[in-house]
Amino acid sequence: MTKPGTHDDLSQLGRQTVPPTSPEEARLERVANPHTERAYVVRFTAPEFTSLCPITGQPDFAHLVIDYAPGAFIVESKSLKLYLGSFRNHGAFHEACTLDIALRLEKEIAPHWLRIGGYWYPRGGMPIDIFYQTGKAPEGLWIPDQGVPAYRGRG
């Protein structure tokens, strides 16, 4: 039996992987944080995130920025990419998608701190931006601005 968070239990990295068809099916994997003695931020940016409107079935597009201060684990990036891609055929409102991603990351990697910015492109002429944060950032941690401007033809 392998210890959770070791490289032995990774099922996707370095292997051909069939993309999951839903967020529930997606396996979000983690590895041990190599620097638990340090406070630092990991940032993932997904500028081409897509999901489906649960009412019309039309595609919705977002620029996601995920920042977190790792605890004992870091998320394995290929599994995160596949997890985010699993929303492509998933019908949910912007708020649900953004918060579901944050809550799943909280559950799987238990970071010291996490925030997500979901910068959604206009639907019906109005962009909807969704923000979530787990609480105050750890003392002394440098947190850069997410760098996504207010909507004026973002890109």
Look up the CATH number of the domain holding residue 99: 3.30.1130.10
Q: What is the pLDDT of residue 13?
A: 56
Q: Report pLDDT digits (tens) over 125-134.
A: 888 999 999 9
Q: What is the pLDDT of residue 26?
A: 94
User: Total structural domains in the chain?
Assistant: 1
Q: What is the pLDDT of residue 1?
A: 34
Is 149 within a domain?
no
Cα–Cα distance for residue pair 120/141, rounded to 1 Å: 27
Is 125 within a domain?
yes
Q: Inform me whether the pLDDT recorded for 149 exceeds 90.
A: no
Catalytically annotated residues: 53, 60
Q: Inform me whether the pLDDT recorded for 44 exceeds 70.
A: yes
Is 124 within a domain?
yes
What is the DSSP secondary structure assignment for residue 3, as one 8-state letter? Answer: P
Q: Which domain holds residue 42?
A: 31-133
SS3 state of residue 63: strand
Length of the chain equals 155
Is 55 within a domain?
yes
Q: What are phi and psi of 129, to 5 degrees?
A: -105, 135
Q: Report pLDDT digits (tens) over 1-30.
A: 345 445 556 665 556 778 888 999 999 999
Q: Report pLDDT digits (tens) over 50-103.
A: 999 999 999 999 999 999 999 999 999 999 999 999 999 999 999 999 999 999
Is 7 within a domain?
no
**Beta strands across the sheet bearing 59-69:** 42-52, 59-69, 113-120, 129-133
